Amino acid sequence: MRQALTILIILGALLLFKRLYSKYESIKQQDSRSEQSSARGPAGDSSAALQGLPPSLEASLQAAHKQGAEGLRKFLGQYRYAIRDPRLAAIELDYVVLMGLHDPVEARRVFKDVQERTPNFSPVYERVKRLEKTYQ
């Protein structure tokens, strides 16, 4: 009887350890996914997941981001007709943030345009609200 009870306790401890370890692994995977998604966009949002940018322009957008505000200005001037909101608004907000240091008047103008056409239910609305105090 004593041996059976010892075996049951050991099996229960092993089962508990297995469940705790699997829970730890799932939390670890979720953390790594969230870190990867936050590292995607230049502003920390998941703007790459937004609709409105043709896949053929994704490489051009990445190159424009690497060039900074001037690269985004050229990209928007060249491809604005092919990009739709909400992705267009997200790209323009990236431009506003980068341009804010060099030309605050231009940054405010672009921000006002984005703000006027962004509805409350847009995925970029929260970002517009966060930047509102800075660029009003």
Mean pLDDT of 9-31: 86
Q: How confident is the model at residue 41 (pLDDT cuts 50, 70, 90)?
A: very low
Please check whether residues 27 and 81 belong to one and the same domain: no
113-126 residue pLDDT tens: 888 888 888 888 88
Query: Which range, of 36-50, 52-66, 97-111, averages the lowest pLDDT?
Result: 36-50
Please check whether residues 60 and 13 belong to one and the same domain: no
Write down the pLDDT at residue 11.
92
Helix ranges restricted to H, 2-68 = 2-38, 58-67
**What range does the domain containing 101 cover?**
47-135
Residues 6-37 as b or e (16 or more Cβ within 10 Å = b): eeeeeeeeeeeeeeeeeeeeeeeeeeeeeeee
Share of the chain above pLDDT 70, in %: 87
Please check whether residues 55 and 105 belong to one and the same domain: yes
Closest CA to 22 of 33, 14, 10, 32: 14
d(CA 22, CA 27): 9
DSSP annotation of 6 reads H
Please check whether residues 64 and 126 belong to one and the same domain: yes
Structurally, the chain folds into a number of domains equal to: 2
Please check whether residues 9 and 70 belong to one and the same domain: no
